[in-house]
């Protein structure tokens, strides 16, 4: 089965503090182009699909009916991230075992850190965001906030916002049990092939579809071939070159 995993869309209300940064139609067109190119049979939304630190689900649902309907209609699998732990009908993780008995484990990955993985940590984060929501009424603070978001998410920079080593360690722990682990949360697209415990293990990170970018991992669950996909912001669809399986 061909599986596409995307994460960290951070769909918001389109008002202040929004980080999705996509026009819904263009996002869906991009997604469909990728689905068609690889013959994707199942799509997993690996957490932080919605940005509920800043807005309530109702607020987000009201302004995003089209995209939510699309996800439901297509039967996409919805995994909980730290930003959307409150969304109904989401899974903690998702697993697929192929015909040779190899298992792929997919989860958002926030359980690896205190600030997002615990109730107390989330309470701190949410308090911080509610304060920020009031403060961004002041223009220079809003500008600084977006400056910081863009800085930390810059694809060309070595990750600072998240210590990706921590997530790699978390993935290794899961890889004792599973053959492939796919996390999100760090907004950094990654792929690692590791020879571990006498077998070949793979850790992938699905990156992010926020700030108008499209990042994803596509996996053939039978052959374990995979590819990372990275479409930069504002690139016209007809010039996008999608890599083939390696
Ligand atoms: Mn997250």
Q: Please give the distance, rounded to the nearest whole angstrom, from the Cα atom of residue 100 to the centre of ligand 1.
A: 32
- pTM of the shown model: 0.86
Contact between 10 and 149 (Cβ < 8 Å): no
Question: How many residues are recorded in the chain?
Answer: 246
Give the pLDDT score at 189: 94
Contact between 103 and 178 (Cβ < 8 Å): yes
Contact between 219 and 41 (Cβ < 8 Å): no
Question: What does the pLDDT look like over 14-45, one tens digit per residue?
Answer: 766 668 999 999 999 999 999 999 999 999 99
* Residue 212 backbone class (left: φ over 0; alpha: ψ -120 to 50; beta: rest): left
Whole-angstrom Cα distance, residue 151 to residue 159?
10
Give the pLDDT score at 114: 74
Report the sign of the C-alpha dihedral through residues 175, 177, 182, 184, in that order.
negative
| Cβ neighbours around 223 below 10 Å, total | 10
Q: Please give the distance, rounded to the nearest whole angstrom, from the Cα atom of residue 99 to the centre of ligand 1.
A: 31
Considering only CA atoms, give the Rg of the chain: 18
Q: Please give the distance, rounded to the nearest whole angstrom, from the Cα atom of residue 243 to the centre of ligand 1.
A: 26
DSSP string, 10-67: -B--SSTT------HHHHHHHHHHHHHHHT--EEEEES--B-TTTS-HHHHHHH-HHH
Closest CA to 76 of 15, 14, 27, 21: 27
Give the pLDDT score at 175: 97
Q: Please give the distance, rounded to the nearest whole angstrom, from the Cα atom of residue 80 to the centre of ligand 1.
A: 9
Q: Please give the distance, rounded to the nearest whole angstrom, from the Cα atom of residue 238 to the centre of ligand 1.
A: 31
Tokens of 8: 């960290």
Give the pLDDT score at 221: 98
Which residues does the chain have with pLDDT short of 50? none
The CATH number assigned to the domain with range 2-239 reads 3.60.21.10
- For Cα atoms 66, 106, 187, give the angle at the middle one, nearest 5 degrees: 65
Strand-by-strand arrangement of the 93-97 sheet:
93-97, 103-107, 180-183, 199-206, 189-196
Contact between 53 and 125 (Cβ < 8 Å): yes
Q: Please give the distance, rounded to the nearest whole angstrom, from the Cα atom of residue 109 to the centre of ligand 1.
A: 7
Q: Please give the distance, rounded to the nearest whole angstrom, from the Cα atom of residue 116 to the centre of ligand 1.
A: 7
Q: Please give the distance, rounded to the nearest whole angstrom, from the Cα atom of residue 225 to the centre of ligand 1.
A: 26
Q: Please give the distance, rounded to the nearest whole angstrom, from the Cα atom of residue 150 to the centre of ligand 1.
A: 16
Give the pLDDT score at 144: 82
């Amino acid at each position: 089965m061909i599986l596409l995993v995307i994460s960290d869309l951070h769909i918001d209300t389109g008002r202040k503090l929004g980080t999705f940064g996509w026009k819904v139609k263009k996002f869906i067109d991009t997604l469909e182009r990728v689905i068609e190119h690889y013959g994707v049979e199942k799509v997993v939304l690996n957490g932080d699909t919605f940005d509920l630190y800043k807005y309530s689900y109702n607020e987000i649902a009201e302004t995003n009916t089209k995209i939510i309907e699309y996800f439901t209609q297509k039967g996409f699998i919805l995994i909980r991230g730290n930003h959307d732990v409150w969304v109904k009908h989401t899974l903690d993780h998702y697993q697929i075992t192929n015909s040779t008995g190899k298992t792929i484990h997919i989860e958002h990955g926030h359980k690896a850190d205190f600030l997002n993985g615990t109730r107390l940590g989330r309470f701190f984060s949410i308090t911080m965001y509610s304060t920020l929501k009031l403060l961004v009424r002041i223009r220079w603070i809003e500008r600084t906030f977006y400056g910081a978001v863009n800085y930390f998410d810059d694809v060309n920079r070595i990750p600072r916002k998240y210590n990706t080593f921590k997530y790699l360690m978390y993935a290794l722990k899961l890889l004792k049990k599973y053959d492939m682990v796919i996390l999100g949360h760090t907004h950094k697209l990654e792929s690692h092939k590791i020879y571990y415990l006498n077998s070949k293990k793979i850790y992938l990170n699905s990156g992010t579809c926020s700030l108008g970018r499209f990042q994803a991992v596509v996996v053939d669950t039978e052959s374990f071939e995979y590819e990372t996909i990275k479409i930069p912001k504002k690139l016209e669809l007809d010039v996008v070159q999608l890599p083939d399986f390696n």
